[in-house]
Amino acid sequence: MSDGIYPGHKHSFDDSSGVDTMVGTGPESSGQREPGRSPLTPTDYETIASRYDLARGGAPESLDAWRIALSSFLKHASLPLLDVGCGTGYWAVALADWFALEVVAVEPSRAMRQKACEQRRHPAISYLGGRAENLPMRDGSCESAWLSTVVHHVSDLGKSAAELRRVLVPGGRVLIRNAFSGRTDGIPWLRYFDHVRHLAEARWPTVDHVLQAFEPAGFGLEHLEPVEETTDLSIASYARRVGVRADSTLAAISDEDFESGMRKLEEAVGAEPDPKPVISTLDLLVLKATL
């Protein structure tokens, strides 16, 4: 049932769970969204997959801050790290290399997964179909889990928290890299798209919302830290990435709102005398299994 391309984690996979690991018609197409969150339209990663890496990836320096931030919480372990919503595998490769970890990378979109398999083959990484609410892993089979810009796509966060608790070992960690509502000042593109800030804020959960979903599943807050990453080396190349419109909020707004924001961003490009790095801040939220 799995379409993992490397067999290295067979001991961790649960091929008898009845999980549809080949989900690929839109990652948010099932499940119930929790009250109080307005997601705009679900994001179609089947369509975004072909341009996703043009918009993400950033400068190599951008990852360094995360390697340092994560080094307090991740180290080589005998059980794999689970990368939930791994997309095109960008982080799976970094985490496998930095911390000498085996990584099981789970992704519901067939097109995103295909990109990962084609472009980020790695002897320590297995790519699998699956989603956070129904993980194709055996109980207690993973040391920790990584969710990079995924929690706002998950339709049932409480169910996902219970699933993560099930597949992690006692004391295992869930490491979340995300924008959180009320903590968005460090996201550069929002300065030019202030007219849709309320939509982005409604789309991203608050830290409290995530905690409330994870605590009943047996997780407690261990750490919360804003991490500054060098997203690009100039505003001009940053504008090209934003223009790809692979960000889920930008993909969901009207063309008029998108073009209005891009005009403001292009004005900033014209006004920059010398290239300066563009810094983004996302949060690292670390939850630890207490039960």
Ligand X SMILES: C[S@@+](CC[C@H](N)C(=O)[O-])C[C@H]1O[C@@H](n2cnc3c(N)ncnc32)[C@H](O)[C@@H]1O
CB of 241 to ligand X, least distance (A): 13
CB of 265 to ligand X, least distance (A): 20
How far is it, in rounded angstroms, from Cα 48 to Cα 164? 26
Q: At what angle do helices 207-214 and 157-167 cross, to 10 degrees?
A: 50
How far is it, in rounded angstroms, from Cα 280 to Cα 268? 16
Nearer CB in complex with ligand X: 162/269:
162
Token look-up 């998108």 returns 258
Name the DSSP letter for residue 41: S
Nearer CB in complex with ligand X: 86/252:
86
Nearer CB in complex with ligand X: 109/141:
109
Binding-site ranges for ligand X (CB under 6 A): 27-28, 45, 56, 84-87, 90-91, 107-109, 112, 131-133, 148-150, 153-154, 248
How far is it, in rounded angstroms, from Cα 194 to Cα 179? 16
Closest C-alpha among 238, 55, 87 to residue 153: 87
How far is it, in rounded angstroms, from Cα 185 to Cα 282? 10
CB of 118 to ligand X, least distance (A): 15
CB of 56 to ligand X, least distance (A): 5
CB of 244 to ligand X, least distance (A): 13
Nearer CB in complex with ligand X: 2/148:
148
How far is it, in rounded angstroms, from Cα 109 to Cα 92? 16
Nearer CB in complex with ligand X: 126/149:
149
CB of 112 to ligand X, least distance (A): 4
Q: At what angle do helices 110-119 and 45-55 cross, to 10 degrees?
A: 40
CB of 39 to ligand X, least distance (A): 11
Nearer CB in complex with ligand X: 177/288:
177
What angle is formed at CA 182 by the lines to CA 289 and CA 29, rounded to 5 degrees? Answer: 65
CB 223 within 8 A of CB 285: yes
Contacts of 249-255 spanning 24+ positions with Cβ under 8 A: 249/40, 249/196, 249/199, 249/200, 249/203, 250/189, 250/193, 251/43, 251/44, 251/48, 252/40, 252/41, 252/43, 252/199, 252/203, 253/40, 253/193, 253/196, 253/199
Nearer CB in complex with ligand X: 50/272:
50
Residue least distant from ligand X (Cβ): 87
